[in-house]
Structure 1
Amino acid sequence: MQVRIIAVGKIKERFLSDGIAEYEKRLTPYLKLSIVEIAEEKRGVHLSGSKGQIIKDGEGDRILAAIPERAYVVALDARGTGMTSEMLAARMRDWQLTGMSSIVVIIGGDLGLSDAVLTRAALRLSLSPMTFTHQMVRLILLEQLYRACRINSGEPYHK
């Protein structure tokens, strides 16, 4: 299975970069992973509602351009469906069994995702009802993908 993570912005904190690198390494035996970073839109000091929408739309256009044509798209969205780790593992197993070989998971910027990106998604997934930085979400997502792979392989993983 190929998993492409499309994420708005670069990772700035070293502790997050180190954690992300560790989980990328751990995932290598289980799936082919790629991470595509989309540039954040430039913005001024004051951000009105309409300016925020323009920013989300600009980032959304670049996200949509990075999605392979036949990919199954998962958008991380605070208003999306919540899942346990076991439920995510079962969903990933179902994708494999039904021949979905290209999965794209989208992490938006600090303003969220454009309507066009949310419309393109087959699944809107919430990692938690809590709020995390979009940079931290990348690490949390990779850990959950690793956990799901271990569950599906029947390998132990701490709870």
Structure 2
Amino acid sequence: MKIAFWSIGKPHEPYVKQGIEDFSKRISHYFGLDWEIVPSPKNAGKIGADELKKMEADSILARLQKDDFLIVLDERGQQLTSEALAVQIQSCANAAIKKIVFLIGGAFGVHKTVLTRSNMQWCLSKLVFPHQLVRLILAEQVYRACTILKNEKYHHQ
């Protein structure tokens, strides 16, 4: 199984890049991993929020394969423990899912068409974080889930 992290926006900022690279390398010991930074549409600052979300959705939906398991990070999604995330990843592996895509939406969230297509909506926290930090937190949590699945020391149970 492969894991993909997709984020709408700009490339990783230097203050999070090293951590993202570290956790990405660690995850790759368990699953194939790809990062894709999906650029915001040109002149995004001049486009209304709804139109921008629709344009971003079109870009995301065009990239998805029909059997990709899409997990959208969304503030209205389900909150999970680290153990529950591990169970979800293992469940996908057991179901012979070829790729799990974790999607971090744009500044205004994701369009309803992406939410409708998603297999799951996950809320990292009720707190609001900058998208750059969400990337780092996502990578760390998926790594933590991997270590839980292998009963390794990283996650102290």
What letter is aligned with 1:54?
Answer: E
Q: 1:111-134, CA deviations, whole angstroms, 9 ceiling, x for partnerless residues?
A: 100111111001000001100112
What letter is aligned with 1:6?
Answer: W
Q: Which residue of 2 aligns with 1:80?
A: 77
Tell me if the contact between 1:110 and 1:133 (Cα under 8 Å) persists in the aligned partners.
no
Provide the C-alpha distance between the structure 1 equivalents of 2:126 and 2:9, rounded to a whole number of angstroms: 22
What letter is aligned with 1:121?
Answer: S
SS in 1 for 2:44: coil
Tell me if the contact between 2:148 and 2:155 (Cα under 8 Å) persists in the aligned partners.
no
Is 1:90 matched with 2:91?
Answer: no
Q: Which residue of 2 aligns with 1:157?
A: 154
Shift of 1:12: 4.7
Q: 1:65-117, CA deviations, whole angstroms, 9 ceiling, x for partnerless residues?
A: 11122111111100000000011011111111121121111110111001111
Residue-pair matches, total: 155
Against the structure 1 CA distance between its residues 115 and 98, is the aligned structure 2 distance closer, same or farther, given a 3 Å change threshold?
Answer: same
What letter is aligned with 1:75?
Answer: V
Against the structure 1 CA distance between its residues 124 and 98, is the aligned structure 2 distance closer, same or farther, given a 3 Å change threshold?
Answer: same
Structure 2 residues without counterparts, runs of 5 or longer = none
Provide the C-alpha distance between the structure 1 equivalents of 2:12 and 2:150, rounded to a whole number of angstroms: 33
Is 1:17 matched with 2:14?
Answer: no
Provide the C-alpha distance between the structure 1 equivalents of 2:37 and 2:99, rounded to a whole number of angstroms: 18
* Shift >6 Å, 4+ stretches: none
Q: Which residue of 2 aligns with 1:8?
A: 8
Root-mean-square deviation (CA), in Å? 1.4
Provide the C-alpha distance between the structure 1 equivalents of 2:143 and 2:107, rounded to a whole number of angstroms: 25
- Pairwise mapping of residues 4-153 of structure 1 onto structure 2 (< 5 A)? 4-41=4-41, 42-44=43-45, 51-153=48-150
The percentage of counterpart residues that share the same residue type is 36
Give the structure-2-normalised TM-score.
Answer: 0.93
What letter is aligned with 1:11?
Answer: P
Shift of 1:39: 1.0
Provide the C-alpha distance between the structure 2 equivalents of 1:102 and 1:110, rounded to a whole number of angstroms: 25
SS in 1 for 2:51: helix
